[in-house]
Amino acid sequence: MARVLSGIQPSGDLHLGNYFGAVRNWVSDQERTDAFFCVVDLHALTQSLDPEDLRRQSLDLACVLLAAGIDPEKCTLFLQSHVPSHQQLAWILECSATFGELKRMTQFKDKAGDQEAVRVGLFTYPVLMAADILLYDANEVPVGDDQRQHLELTREIANRFNNRYGQTFVVPTATIPKVGARVMDLQHPERKMSKSVNSPLGTIGILDKPVEIEKKIKKAVTDNDGIVSFDVEAKPGLANLLTLFGACLGEDPEEISKRYERYGDLKKDVAEALIESLRPLQERYQTFSADIPEVLRILHHGALKAREVAEVTYQRAADAVGLVSEA
């Protein structure tokens, strides 16, 4: 059975990009694979979060994932910081990845931007991500399109390590969905929908109320030529709406475009489809968020299962590089 691992940061409210690009596919992956999903709270430390916010957001994200259909009977759900092997392996891998490789990461360049004091953790972030993946011998890593480069780096690190120290890691592949891998901001369709950019009208949260979803879709930026067609370059706003619709219906956005003549009709149906797609998740979220002790139990059980797998791989890597095993 294939092994899957993916992670998501507790850095803010989940949006449609996170849902269609990643989380929804995790729910189907758990049916056919041995899947591990982790809330990457250590990665979120690369941003300046209030400690109480980080704690609350980590548990809230676990509630959202459970509400989305992540089922602890079918997969392993855990918090990254509960499994110390992630940090241990990250150090070993940092001694293999190079400064030049990390400097080329576009997410680092975007996030470091013009910050005056760039944290070292933001720079080494992709190596911790490589450790997350390699510890579980993952064959598949379901992510959105923006993580392609990080996955390439993970493969590079794994291959280099295997060549230098002998076969130690499984070399993983990114699994990126056909529709929904890159959901764009509704107000700025040239940039991706993002948790860390403040764009309230451009971002639809997966817990947004139906009236908010309707309003945001109605106000979504399109163009003036009045022709409904799927053209990402020439008509990015409309293409984004068709992509969201396609992701809801499981249909090709181009096919959907042929059924519409007016932007208004399309927008109305897109809003309705989104509201219906999110309704079950939103209802279940109430149940989980009202029972945090149960969520903590699920995460504890997940950490036990994750540690069992991760510790074995860590030991294999530690042995390979020449660290002495404890008697």
Active site residues: 111, 192, 195
Q: Which amino acid is at 259?
A: R
Task: Specify whether the CB–CB gap between 213 and 259 falls below 8 A.
Answer: no
Q: Where does this chain bind ligand LTN (CB under 6 A)?
A: 5-7, 9, 40, 43, 129, 132-133, 141, 143, 147, 150
Which entry of ligand ATP, ligand LTN, none binds 182, CB below 5 to 8 A by partner kind?
ligand ATP
Q: How far is CA 37 from the centre of its chain?
A: 10
* Residues within window 22-61 making contact with ligand ATP, judged by CB under 6 A: 22
Minimum distance of ligand LTN from residue 97's CB (angstroms): 15
In this chain, which of 72, 126, 144, 189 binds ligand ATP, going by CB under 6 A? Answer: 144
The token duo for 45 is 């430390």
> Hey, is 325 helix, strand or coil?
coil
In this chain, which of 13, 94, 101, 146 binds ligand ATP, going by CB under 6 A? Answer: 146
Establish if 151 lies at the interface with ligand ATP (CB under 6 A).
Answer: no
Minimum distance of ligand LTN from residue 227's CB (angstroms): 35
Q: How far apart (Å, rounded) are the C-alpha atoms in residues 80 and 68?
A: 19
Q: Helix H segments across the chain?
A: 16-18, 24-32, 41-44, 51-68, 85-94, 99-103, 106-112, 120-134, 148-165, 210-218, 236-249, 253-257, 263-289, 292-321
Which entry of ligand ATP, ligand LTN, none binds 77, CB below 5 to 8 A by partner kind?
none
> Hey, is 139 helix, strand or coil?
coil
Which entry of ligand ATP, ligand LTN, none binds 18, CB below 5 to 8 A by partner kind?
ligand ATP
DSSP class of residue 96? T
Which entry of ligand ATP, ligand LTN, none binds 141, CB below 5 to 8 A by partner kind?
ligand LTN
In this chain, which of 24, 155, 182, 235 binds ligand ATP, going by CB under 6 A? Answer: 182
Establish if 243 lies at the interface with ligand ATP (CB under 6 A).
Answer: no
In DSSP notation, 178-232 reads SSSSSPBPSS-TTSB--SSS--TTT--BTT--HHHHHHHHHT----SS------T
Residue nearest to ligand ATP (CB): 21
Q: Which residues bind ligand ATP (CB under 6 A)?
A: 8-9, 11, 17-18, 21-22, 143-144, 146-147, 181-183, 192-196
